[in-house]
Amino acid sequence: MNHAMRSSRRAALCLGTTLAVAMQAAAAVAGGGPVVAVSGGTVEGHTAGNVVEFLGIPFAAPPVGPLRFRPPAPVPDFGHLNASSYSSACPQVDGIIGTPSENEDCLYLNVWTPTLTPEEPRPVMVWIHGGGNVSGSTGDFVPFPPYESERLYDASALADAHDTVVVSINYRLGVFGFFAHADLAGEDPSFPYAGNQGLLDQVAALVWVRDNIASFGGDPDNVTIFGESAGSWDVCAHMISPLSAGLFHRAISQSGGCSVGVASAEDADISANAIAAAAGCDGAPDELACLRALPVADLLAAGPAGEASPSIGANLGISIDGGMVPDHPRDLFDAGLFARVPYILGANSDEGTLFFVGSEPIETDEEYQAELLTRFADYADEIALLYPSDDFASPQDALIRVVGDASLVCSTYDVAKRVAAHKNRTYFYNFARVIPLPFVSLLDLGAFHGAEIAYVFGSVPPPTSYDQTLGRQIQEYWSRFAEKGKPKATKALGWPKFNARSQKVLRLNAQLNKLDGFRRAQCEFWSSVYDNL
């Protein structure tokens, strides 16, 4: 950015601060909370501990009626909003996480800030929640005892302790957010693409941050996007998307890499057509008009996890649309066509355990071999050699490790390796803390998928002093990375850079330590076969 542009940006930041002071003073006279002018209106915040929170701010028009399946439209004027409660979750069915919802008016975000008028603009962290891109919301509660009354993504502690502005965003999910019916590409000549509506919602939220966050004390020129699971995949997609370019300056992917699990436009259209058929709209003169006229419940039933869902359409997600995702992420990373920003990636030691809770366990090596054949076809024998059941407590444990590595651990590794190959500043972690709580040991979850989230946010009381220390360290690594692009923590191990040769990894546990690689042999195998899975 040249000097003139920086001066202009700094002037805008000063203007935003001046407006914030004026609005806050006016609110104080009226006896209310601080008021901030944003796109579409004004929002009134509320004190939460040592920070001010603004909950449920609209960042786009409600995607209803003719806007269903379309890219997000600009937020309409809404006047004055008492921003004191989370918005509705986007439409989704009941699941392990998230809240069942049929409310399409769900494109809202939340902001936590220590104060509106800092001496210097603060780094901004924008959270993208997980849930397989079919469930979840910014207001999710912790799904496990004894913390079911706690908001999992409450960022007040993170913002307060680390002088950071934190934003969390909702986005469309499932059939509403990743519906790539080919006819959508013909609706708007200026945007001839189909699908990835949820990713486009996230881009709209990042544009909102760019245009409004200075009034909350944040620096629009220092934005970090971070997310877990599907949110991790989405962060990865923003790394290769031309539509996201310039809207963020650092990135963190927690458990999941987009070099696998991305559908072609053709396969995504097949899935969309199968869902249209399940919803009763195939053969209609205008299938999209038919689908837009359906009640939300009917589309949820036809979409992922719905009662009428066809197996062919059960895996809606990121697809290659030519616009948001112009080509396969693997090819774009290898060609160096990605955002050259500092990037943290990582995975947990036991990513697969959560997905087998309640399932009937396999008990013999023969059953293990049969499962590998069903899931991985021609690669079953190689996988059995790489993950011999005798190396695990049971054949079930071997299968859990295979599934967790294939989908989460090694997809994250694969992206890290491709990014680091271009000498991009890259850091990798392995979260290995087995939380000392009864439900973790009862279900034998280990360091399970999503276990690190509470440590990142500080959103639940740590069960021991070791967990309190680990949480402080992780929050400081994340927030210092957001501030300067380098993860550091007070009186903690230095975090080495990850590169394709040395593959230095920081293990996050009750005691921090460094690893020379993390499941390198296993992940090299998965990297070699992702093209064919």
User: What is d(CA 455, CA 474) in angstroms, rounded to the nearest whole number?
Assistant: 7
User: What is d(CA 148, CA 160) in angstroms, rounded to the nearest whole number?
Assistant: 23
Which DSSP symbol is given to 87? P
In sequence order, what are the residues at sequence separation of 6 or more whose Cβ sits closer than 8 angstroms to the Cβ of residue 29?
A: none
Phi and psi, residue 54, nearest 5°: -125, 110
> Rounded to the nearest 10 degrees, how much is the dihedral formed by the CA atoms of 464, 468, 471, 475?
170
Q: Which two tokens stand for residue 261?
A: 């699990």
Catalytic residue, from 229, 244, 349, 459: name it: 229
Catalytic residue, from 449, 452, 476, 483: name it: 449
456 touches 474 (CB < 8 A): yes
Catalytic residue, from 53, 104, 287, 351: name it: 351
91 touches 176 (CB < 8 A): yes
225 touches 254 (CB < 8 A): no
- Terminal C-alpha separation, the chain: 42
Rg (CA), the chain: 23
**377 backbone φψ class: left, alpha, beta (φ>0; ψ -120 to 50):** left
Q: Say how far residue 188 (Cα) sits from the centre of its chain.
A: 28
In sequence order, what are the residues at sequence separation of 6 or more whose Cβ sits closer than 8 angstroms to the Cβ of residue 505?
A: 428, 429, 430, 498, 514, 515, 516, 517, 518
Q: Which amino acid is at 519?
A: R
In sequence order, what are the residues at sequence separation of 6 or more whose Cβ sits closer than 8 angstroms to the Cβ of residue 100?
A: 89, 92, 93, 94
Which DSSP symbol is given to 405? I
133 touches 195 (CB < 8 A): no
Q: Is 449 a catalytic residue?
A: yes
Identify the helix (H) or strand (E) that includes residue 329: helix 329-334
Q: From edge to edge, which strands make up the β-sheet containing 35-38? A: 35-38, 41-44, 79-82
Identify the helix (H) or strand (E) that includes residue 520: helix 520-529
Cis peptide before 146 (omega within 30 of 0): yes
444 touches 289 (CB < 8 A): no
Q: Is 229 a catalytic residue?
A: yes
User: What is d(CA 277, CA 408) in angstroms, rounded to the nearest whole number?
Assistant: 32
249 touches 469 (CB < 8 A): no
User: What is d(CA 17, CA 383) in angstroms, rounded to the nearest whole number?
Assistant: 57
Dihedral sign from CA coordinates of 416, 419, 421, 427: negative
User: What is d(CA 144, CA 132) in angstroms, rounded to the nearest whole number?
Assistant: 18
Identify the helix (H) or strand (E) that includes residue 112: strand 108-113
Q: Which residues are catalytic?
A: 229, 351, 449
